[in-house]
Structures are given as structure tokens and as C-alpha cells.
Structure 1
């Protein structure tokens, strides 16, 4: 019997069996890899380095909601590696992309341990496999606040402008009706002039506040003598103080300097003086003093007026807010003065503090970074003389009225 066909048959059977075994091994390896992929939480190459360099909060989350790795800013939202996502909406967002794709939602996050720390975020989840999802969280709280401020500013401005514009319109109609009565015409014309002045003041302060809040709203910064700032502010409000029978008193240290915009600082200090005079009783005193505290210059304006309640003190720096609305409107107040003071001080790297007690008066303090004095200029000497002259003139008039 010829052995050649048997050998060929054995060879064919061996090849078939070998191919079958190989196919089974390949299928087993693929199944194993698929199973590993479905259960693996191994991060893709480079993901950890990318997360470490991100400015936004971002993390990789497994199927059970546990954070595998997180970017440093994630800690501000209470998200840390090895912990479970606290926020139920974020967990739901991650589950929604488990089968693939991406999803984005705007969510308000309140940390359980800090109930007042509420943040509005834009969260985007993307699948990175059957077991892992990438969650990127962008904090939009500040953007929301700025948008709300713009909306409120436009609404408040429109409301405030309606009052003087409406008054001018009505008074113009009244003048037309009283054309044959010269006395009435003069009275209405005087009121129109007052409303126009109020409208001009309001418009000017709105423009000042808008400049302070814009990115390039200030002029070039340079060395500014606080003596000159105070002298100019006092000089600009001497007439108001005389009319209100309020004495202006200047004290404290001299020769201090800051880095900033002189005109903006003069306006800010002037607003504090105007408010102090406005809310002070006749015969009282408004003091403005300067103190150096290490590297900080403190400009304090103190009055003996009606004071501010605790509830009002928390809101007095808001735009258009008036602690005494009726009195402010009667005297032409715009509700923007203290807001301008706050923004002007902040733009100079400082802060504003307030102390007040109802019936005892108030003290507003602007704290600004101090710089070393440049070479002494004649202008600063003139400023000192101007301040002393204004203070002496006011004191003499006050003594004469008392006598």
C-alpha cells in the first residue's frame, strides 16, 4: 500500500487542526483583551500630564463614579482623586455618556460642607472607553455675576434717568401753560435748572463708574501726593461745607505718596467728603486724616452725622443704593458716590473700610499701597498751604457763626 496519500491526509488534518487551535487562541486573546478593556481603568497615555496643566477643573471618572485622577483646580469644587463625585447632577451627566458621545450641562454646585459656597459651572462629559469618562468643569460664576451686574446697571440707570427727564418734560409743559405768569415761569425755570444739574451729575457719575470698571478706564499711573489729593478735594467741597455750616478739619501725617491716577483719587475722596457733609448736622465737624500703617496709606473721612445701620452698611457700596433714599433724592444724591469710591480704591490695589454707629457718625477709610516719596516738588508745598488756608477759613467762619 502506498503511504503517500496517508501522509498527505495526515498533513492536511494537522494543518486544519493547527489552524483551528490558532483561531481559538486568537479568539481567546481578543476576548480577554475586550474583557480587560471593559473593566480596565488604565488612563490613556499623557492624560495625567494634560490634566495637571489645565486651568479648569477636570477629572477622569470610572463607572462607579470614583475620581481616578483630577486637575489641581478641581480641589476648589471638592473633587479629588480617590473620592466619589459628590454632586448628583455631575454623576448623572457622567452616566449619560457611558455608552459613548459627549454631553454638556450648566449646573449649580453647592459643596455639602460649605453650604454657602455655591458655584455655577459648565460641565462637559466625554466617554474615554467603557469604564472611564472625562469630565471638564468650567466655573462661570464670575461671568454670571458680571452679566447680572450689567443687566442691573442698565435697568437702574434707565430708572434713574427717567426721573429728571420726566421732571424736565413736565416742567416745560408747565412753563408753556403759565406763559402769562412771569413769576410762575421763573419758578418752573429754576426747577428745570435743578433737574438739569441733577441729570448732568448723574450722567457724569455713570461715566466715571463705567471708566473705572472698564479694562483701560484709568489714565497713566504715576506718583501721587496724598497732600495734593486732599487739598483739591477739600477745596472743591468748601462751598458745600459752608452752606451746610459744617467745619472741615484736616489732620494726620503729611508727605505721603501713592502710585495712581490723581484725578480719580481726588474724585473718590471728594465723594466721601460730599457724603459726610450731606449727612452731618449743622454746626458739626467733618474730619479728614491721613495715617501710615507700614506700607499702607490710610485716608479716613469722619463725620458726626446720622450713622449707618448694620443692614445698610452691608449694601452701601452697591450702585444706586441709598441708605436714606428720601434725603438723597431731596439733596440730589445719585447713589453712585460710594460705588465709585470702592472701584477707584480697588483699581489702585487698595480697599475701603467703614465704621459706623447710628446716631454717632461714620468713618470711611481708603487704604492704598504706599510708595517712597520722589524728589520734593513745589506743587506739594502749595497743596499743603492750600489745605491749611481752606481749613483756617472754614474754622474762622464757624467761630463767627457761633459768636
Structure 2
């Protein structure tokens, strides 16, 4: 082998050794990177941005159970960066996922954090790396409450409908048995009529409430005179008030208008008046007052009745809930009146407020957005003012003439 061939051979061997060294170094770096990834607790890029955009409470935990990243909503459950999970059930869920490597979901009832009330949550834990675990907590308390309300509504409706139907059936049998006793027949017939009226009232209110809850908006929206709403509500319950020995009075501002459905508002205010009469002692007064507060109309129904306890005040707008079960049964109450008031007011963009003290009475106030009077009403007012001015001017002219000829 001459010197030239020997030089080429040396170069080839050097190149092979250099390439091998590069490959060996590259492989060593890759092994080191994998080892670091398997033991690192650094949150991967992008996860922090994802957590920041989440509405649910969420956090990332390292192998020691320390929180290394959180969403904004995590503080609701007392979860903070740099701290461990306070809740034992959540820690158990995360440990199980870390040990098995498989995701897991559990429904838990949690307390603590920003709310002292127990919250029903759906908690899901997933591995996002050899050393990191993602925990997402979704609050399903409201969903559970709505599901329970639907279940209760169906159950209560079935029960409430069965009662008058069963009574009518029994009374019909009693009439048949007492066919020869005219007086008993009249008594049973009157009771059948009362039960039929109660059944009609109940079904009517169920339909009203269902329409208010099902529709996204009112079917008919137009200018509504609060004077007419209050007058119709009082007139509809004047007989009830007379029978109960309760005086009905109307006060406050007049000529006030809102936009909405007149019949829905009349039913809502009427329900408040009816309730006030039922829970007022004989000889007392129920007042309906109207007040304008900035751009809001307040319709307040005040009684001097038995009042409402703090515990009942939280639930009185629930369907079929009765603060005084015995009195409500005795007077034929359905337990739907205040629920209709609440939904009717909300459909009109307003709210209902309650003030009450046991033994001192109650005040229910419907707050609705104020609206301008229709042009036709404004034109009539303008014409009446013009007529008054003309009449006044004519009177002054006659007085002047009489003075001249006197």
C-alpha cells in the first residue's frame, strides 16, 4: 500500500470514528432528555394557557401531590399554587390515577373553599406526563337541584291532582247512596263543586307556570297600564276579601306603564293579593302600592298577617311549597302562586323582593322596568290639558264681562 492509499484509509477511519462519536453523543443526549422528562415536574408549555381559559376548577399536580398550576376557578374549592390538596377524596382520586396510569372520574360532595355549602362535583383525574396529573372539577350542584325540582314537580303534581279527583269520585258515590236524601245530595254536590273548582284552579296554574318556564320570551309584549293591572287584581279578589273580613286598599303613584303581557301581570299581582288575604287576620288591611324608583316600577303588596320565618322565606318561591300547610289546605291553596309571581316577574325583566317578620306581616314587591306611556295616551292627556286651559280662559272672560256690565 503506497502512501496515498494509506492516507485515504486513515481519512476513512477518522470519518467513521467521528460519525460514531456524533451518534454516540446524540444518543446520550436523547437518553438524558428522556430521563429528565420522566423525573421533571415542570408544567409542559401550553397547559398553563389551557387552564387559564377554563371555566371549571382545574389544577396540575406533581408526583408529591403538590399543586404546580391552577385555573382561575380553582380557588372556589381552596386549591392554590404551591399547596397540597386539602380534600382527602380528591387526593385519593389523584393517587389512584398516578398508580394505575388510567383516567378516573368520580362524583363527590365537597365542602370548604370559597363556599361553606356542600357542592356536588364531577371530578376527573388524568395523567399528563410520568410525573404530572391533571385534575378537573366540574360543579354540578345546580344541575342536581334542577333535576330534583323536576322530579319533585312531577311527584307533587301527581299527588295534588289525585286528591281532588279521588274526592270527586267518593262524593259521587256518596250522592248515589244518598239519592233519596235531598239535603245530603245538596251538601255532597256543593263539595263536588268545590273540589272541581280546586282542580280547575290547580290545572290552570300548572299550565300558566309551564308556559312561563317553557317560553324564552313573552308571547305578547305591549304597553301595559299598571293602574289597570292593580285595579283588575283588586277587583278579582274583592269577594274573597269581603268573606275574610279584610280591607283592600290602593295607594301610590298613578299613570305608570311597563311593557309586557297584561294578563300575566294581572295574574301575578292577583296571586300576591290572594296570598295576603289568606294569611291576614279578620279586620286587618291589605294594601297595594305603586312607586317609581328611577327607571323601575315597584308594585308592593303589604299585609298585616302572620309573617314568614327566615327558614321558609328561602323556599316560598318553590313550586308546591307551603309555609303553612294546614292553612293552605284549608283555603284551597295550590302552592304555585308565588312560583308564578317569580317567573312572571323574571319574564318581564324584573325581580321579586320579600320583607317579612313573624307576627308583623309581609311585603312582596315586584320590580319591573319602567316604560313610556303610549302615544295615544299622551295625546289624550294633551287634549284634556288644552280643554282645561280653554275652559279656564272662557271662565275668566265671562267673569270680566260680568264685571264690565255690573
Please, what TM-score do these two structures have when normalized by structure 1? Answer: 0.83
Structure 2 unaligned segments of length 5 or more: list them.
382-406
1:398 maps to what in 2? none
Give distance in 1, aligned partners of 2:230 and 2:376: 17
Displacement of 1:374:
4.0
Give the 5 Å matches for 1:301-380: 301-375=301-375, 377=377
CA distance in 1, matches of 2:132, 2:339: 49
Offset of residue 23 of structure 1: 5.8
Matches of 2:272 and 2:39 in 1, distance apart?
A: 67
Q: Which runs of 5+ in 1 are unaligned?
A: 382-403
Distance of aligned partners of 1:200 and 1:128 in 2 relative to their CA distance in 1, 3 Å threshold: same
Aligned to 1:41: 41
Name the structure 2 match of 1:107: 108
Residue range with higher mean Cα deviation, 22-31 or 86-95: 22-31
**What is the alpha-carbon distance in structure 1 between the residues aligned to residue 260 and residue 79 of structure 2?**
41
**How many angstroms apart in 2 are the aligned matches of 1:379 and 1:286?**
35
| 1:72 alignment partner in structure 2 | 72
Match of 1:387 in 2: none
Tell me the CA shift for residue 270 of structure 1. 0.2
- Bigger CA radius of gyration: 2
Map of 1:287 onto structure 2: 287
RMSD over aligned Cα, in angstroms? 3.1
Contact kept in structure 2, 1:100 and 1:129, CA below 8 Å: no
Q: Helix, strand or coil: the match of 2:308? A: coil
Q: More relative contact order in 1 or in 2 (CA 8 Å, sep 6+)?
A: 1
Give distance in 1, aligned partners of 2:221 and 2:95.
53
2:326 and 2:102 mapped to 1: Cα distance?
59
- Scaled by the length of structure 2, the TM-score of the pair is 0.82
Moved more, 48-57 or 163-172: 48-57
Q: Distance in 2 between matches of 1:190 and 1:81?
A: 71
For residues 283-334 of structure 1, the C-alpha deviation after alignment (integer angstroms, 9 at most, x for no partner) is: 3321100112223221111122333344433433232222332222122111
Count of residues in correspondence between the two structures: 380
Shift of 1:53: 2.7
Structure-2 separation of matches of 1:75 and 1:225: 48
Q: In structure 2, do the counterparts of structure 1 residues 74 and 372 end up closer, same or farther at CA, with 3 Å as the change threshold?
A: farther
**Deviation readout 1:124-158 (Å, 9 max, x if unpaired):** 22211112222222221111110011111112122
Closer, same or farther: CA 112–169 of 1 in aligned 2, 3 Å: same
- Shift of the 358–92 alpha-carbon distance from structure 1 to 2, 3 Å rule, reads closer
